[in-house]
Chain A
Amino acid sequence: MNNRYIIIYTLVISLITAIVLAFVVNGLQPRHAANEAVFKKREILSAIKDQLGQDLNKLKDPEVLSLFEAQVQQVVLDAKGNPVEGLKAEDINIAAEEKKPAAERKYPLFIFKGEKGSIYLMSVRGNGLWDKIWGFVALADDFNTVVGTSFGHAAETPGLGAEIKDNPNFSKQFQGKQIYEGSEFVSVAVVKGGVKRKAHEVDGISGATITSVGVNDMLKKGIKAYLPYFESQKKK
């Protein structure tokens, strides 16, 4: 077998696999996009799963979409907290927004219109130990009380940092916490070694200090970005 045969063989094999894969990937692309959209909506709704009135895990994909369509209002805010016309919150790529200068950033806000009033869902993003972490924080319409949270992560350690997502008791702790102390914004702190200020603190995860601190910083920074909008809503 001479070199020419080997080279031609290599080229032909590469060409055939490339063509096959291109067809498969292109053909399945629409389904991938649809799956991703539903997954994201489930992630958002899981922050308010106790307020939905039905079991989110039992809802089928089309039901999630129609529930989202019917009950969730999507608002995009600019850095000053003013709504931006003509944009949908689900189209905002928060990872890309992070790279822009602070004054040009846009923030997605999802407003769930439930039986007991509106719930405001903020999107937050920060750093864990290994990679990015993110989450959704649901605020009641007093713009102070947290009604639920959901967290996600790219690569935290299973059993330790990954507990922010896997352990439902971690996100449950946030329910009923308040982000204001008097008129001062204090966020909800994730602390080590016992909660002291019951209204504003939750327990961190033992063995996952850096992830816990990451969640703490993410909430403080993330919620703060939405405050101008909430202030303007309070005046109304």
Chain B
Amino acid sequence: MADIAVAPVPVVKEKEYWWSKKERKLVTEPIEINNPITVQILGVCSALAVTTMVKPALIMAISVTLVTGFSNLVISLMRKGIPKQIRMIVQLVVIAALVTVVEQFLKAYSYPVWKQLSVFIGLIITNCIVMGRLEAFAMANKPWRSFLDGIGNGIGYGAILVALAIVREFFGRGSIGGLKIIGSTPEFALNTSELSWLGWYQPNGLMALPASALFLVGIIIWIHRSMNPKLVDVS
């Protein structure tokens, strides 16, 4: 009985969590309800350009995720020292340095992909998602949370990229991630020149061109909004 009487009143102290509900939300929100491409309409340029095949789209997604994550982290660490007048330039220097590092590593360890992505790696520097998150989030938040925000936005961007690439590669080239599924040569699993019931099949040439990604992004936005009424008329 006495035990209960001496139990101290617990001191209510705001504890900093590494992985609470709030942090989880930072990562999951940009993947779904606040997606950079379909809701914020950022980074559409590269979403049209690098999504003809799954592999480069995946590499691009990983590169952008690394760059948004670490530039958010670095800028957040520096945020109190950055002079207000030159903060944009400082952000740009950090982004450009990180992108150059990513590009150099790609060139060294994944040369064919580097060749394919060519100019678009360099263009991550001007990808609005990166700078947008720095200005909107990292300049005002602590490093760990900024890092999560960057990773979340990168994954949200990457998820759309890979989804577009799967559709475009399948309908445009008859393969997914280099795995040949349907086409008119013997390398494909379904050879349309031999299977008479598939003789009508033709790959859709439009899917190989950037314009098709615009249609697909439009369709994704349409479905996304009709499923989430609160997104309508937000942007």
Contact = CB atoms under 8 A, between A and B. Distances in A.
Given A20-B97, A39-B115, A159-B208, A6 B85 contact: yes
Interface residues of B, number: 25
Contacts of A38: 111
B141 interface: no
A64 to B, nearest CB: 12
A21 B100 CA distance: 8
A103 interface: no
A14 B209 contact: no
Interface stretch (A27-35, A108-116, A123-131, A193-201): A27-35
A24 B104 CA distance: 7
Contacts of A20: 97, 101
B101 A24 contact: yes
B90 interface: yes
Most buried by A among B104, B107, B115: B104
B84 A1 contact: yes
B12 interface: no
A24 B105 CA distance: 8
Contacts, number: 55
Contact of B209 (A5, A25, A35, A159): A159
Contact of A6 (B83, B109, B205): B83
Nearest to A168: B185
Main secondary structure of the interface of B (DSSP, over half): helix
Contacts of A32: 104, 107-108
Interface in A141-163: 158-159
A5 B93 CA distance: 18
Interface string B117-147: 0000000000000000000000000000000
A39 B111 contact: yes
Contact of A35 (B84, B93, B108): B108
A70 interface: no
A1 B86 CA distance: 11
Contacts of B83: 1, 5-6, 9
Given A9-B83, A159-B209, A21 B97 contact: yes
A144 B81 CA distance: 71
